[in-house]
Structures are given as structure tokens and as C-alpha cells.
């Protein structure tokens, strides 16, 4: 059965199948010495759900809180916020990329997906921990459905069902340059603090989220789901 979304037709059965197979690890990929993680993954042309789950898994591992389900949820929602904002804003599309693959592989954004030197690129290519993979898949499915986005908090966001929380930083990651994000003092972004997620709280000590101080001037007023 097909279901219409803002991004086109989705097979409703696909989401059910992914959820049912959440405990099954995806195919383990390797890359040649001269290949990027993107080149290695795109050889198999994964569905958006698998691609986002792979990134969510690898990014979750990089936070130093790889067993916290709210960490995976925060990451998946943050990525999908970029996807949805880019769908209605040309300036956001140029900055963040277009579609799930475009956002994930945007240069200088998500190291496990774009940098062969990332310590977590292997997690993107070859998830090996079944319980954490299930957390990543569950988070991916929720963020892709787009219902009850915990990062929609302002009146502007609620009117449009569209979140402006598009930047996030892992202060305790081994890749972090310090406890604060490099853009902490930017006038374009506002730190939002702890985030209520799934009946609990995702602490800013685990992920620091930032909302655009102003919406992009070219956002089209239309549903984004």
C-alpha cells in the first residue's frame, strides 16, 4: 500500500518491514583505500531509512552515550529537521543539502559519513551492535514519520510543523574540541538547553542543540511532512 507524504510516495509496508527487522544488522560494508564512506555505502543504494539509521547509529556511538535511546532520537530528529527545512527553503538546501542522502553527505557536517579519517566511519559502514542498531532504527522511524517532534517548541515552528533546530554538538565526544560548540557565540544560532524527549529529558551534557535565531527568509508556507 502506498502513502503520500510531503516528500512523495512512501511504501507503508516498508516502514513495517524495517521495524520488524530492527534487530537484524544491515549488511557490513568495507571500503577500498581510496574510497570515501559515501562511495562505499552508495554502492548498495540503501533506502533513506537504512541510510539515516546507519548515520544515527554511528553518530550515537560518537557521543560517548551509545546506550541512551534519547541520544539516538535527538540525532535522528536533528537530521530530519535539516531535510524538512531544506525542502521548503532554497537557502537551507544550499547550506544543508537536499533530501536524506544530500543532508547526510553534505561536506563538513557528519564526519562518519564523509570522512575516511573519522574513527566512527566504520560504525557507519558496518554496525555491529544489535541493541544499539535497534535504537537507531526506532529513532529513525519516529523522525521519518515526523509526528510529535520534540524540537518543535516555538510559535513559528508550531504554526508550520517545522523545526528550526538544525545544529547539534556532542560535548563529550572524543572528537569534540571542547565542551562548547565552535559556533556557540554565533548570532545566527541560539542554544536551547535540555530537551524533553519520550517522557524524559535529553541533557545538553550529551547533545547541545541550537535553533536558528531567525527563520530563513525564503521559507515557503506549506506543509512539510
Within 8 A by CB and 6+ apart from 212, the residues are 164, 165, 166, 188, 189, 190
Q: What is the predicted pLDDT for the residue at 149?
A: 97
Query: 29 in helix, strand or coil?
Result: coil
**Count of all residues that appear for the chain in the document:** 225
Q: What is the predicted pLDDT for the residue at 80?
A: 98
Which cell goes with 210?
A: 541550537
Q: What is the predicted pLDDT for the residue at 4?
A: 35
Which cell goes with 11?
A: 511504501
Distance CA 50, CA 191 (A): 30
Contact 72, 56 (CB under 8 A): yes
Q: What is the predicted pLDDT for the residue at 7?
A: 35
Q: What is the predicted pLDDT for the residue at 85?
A: 98
Torsion (CA) 137, 159, 225, 67 in degrees, nearest 10: -10
Q: Is residue 220 exposed (0-12), middle (13-18) or buried (19+ Cβ within 10 Å)? A: exposed
Question: CA–CA distance from 11 to each of 14, 15, 131, 178 (Å)?
Answer: 5, 7, 26, 43
Q: What is the predicted pLDDT for the residue at 177?
A: 87
Q: What is the predicted pLDDT for the residue at 5?
A: 38
Contact 123, 57 (CB under 8 A): yes
Which cell goes with 220?
A: 515557503
pLDDT tens digits for the chain (225 residues)?
A: 223 333 333 333 444 444 445 569 999 999 998 899 999 999 999 999 999 999 999 999 999 999 999 999 999 999 999 999 999 999 999 999 999 999 999 998 999 999 999 999 999 999 999 999 999 999 999 999 999 999 999 999 999 999 999 999 999 999 898 999 999 989 999 999 999 999 999 999 999 999 999 999 999 875 545
Does this model's pTM top 0.75? My answer is yes
DSSP 177: S
Amino acid at each position: 500500500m502506498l502513502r503520500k507524504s510531503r516528500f512523495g510516495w512512501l511504501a507503508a509496508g516498508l516502514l513495517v518491514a524495517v521495524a520488524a527487522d530492527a534487530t537484524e544488522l544491515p549488511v557490513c560494508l568495507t571500503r577500498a583505500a581510496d574510497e570515501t564512506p559515501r562511495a562505499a555505502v552508495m554502492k548498495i543504494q540503501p533506502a533513506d531509512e537504512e541510510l539515516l539509521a546507519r548515520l544515527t547509529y554511528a553518530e550515537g556511538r560518537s557521543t560517548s552515550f551509545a546506550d541512551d535511546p534519547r541520544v539516538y532520537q535527538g540525532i535522528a530528529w536533528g537530521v530530519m529537521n535539516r531535510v524538512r527545512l531544506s525542502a521548503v527553503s532554497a537557502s537551507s538546501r544550499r547550506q544543508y543539502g537536499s533530501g536524506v542522502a544530500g543532508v547526510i553527505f553534505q561536506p563538513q557536517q557528519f564526519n562518519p559519513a564523509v570522512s575516511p579519517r573519522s574513527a566512527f566511519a566504520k560504525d557507519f559502514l558496518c554496525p555491529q551492535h544489535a541493541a544499539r542498531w535497534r535504537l537507531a532504527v526506532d529513532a529513525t522511524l519516529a523522525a521519518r514519520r515526523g509526528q510529535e517532534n520534540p524540537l518543535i517548541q516555538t510559535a513559528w515552528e508550531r504554526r508550520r510543523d517545522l523545526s528550526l533546530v538544525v545544529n547539534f554538538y556532542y560535548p563529550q565526544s572524543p572528537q569534540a574540541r571542547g565542551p562548547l560548540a565552535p559556533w556557540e557565540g554565533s548570532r545566527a544560532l541560539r542554544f536551547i538547553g535540555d530537551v524533553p524527549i519520550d517522557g524524559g529529558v535529553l541533557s545538553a551534557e550529551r547533545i547541545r542543540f541550537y535553533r536558528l535565531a531567525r527563520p530563513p527568509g525564503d521559507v515557503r508556507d506549506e506543509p512539510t511532512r
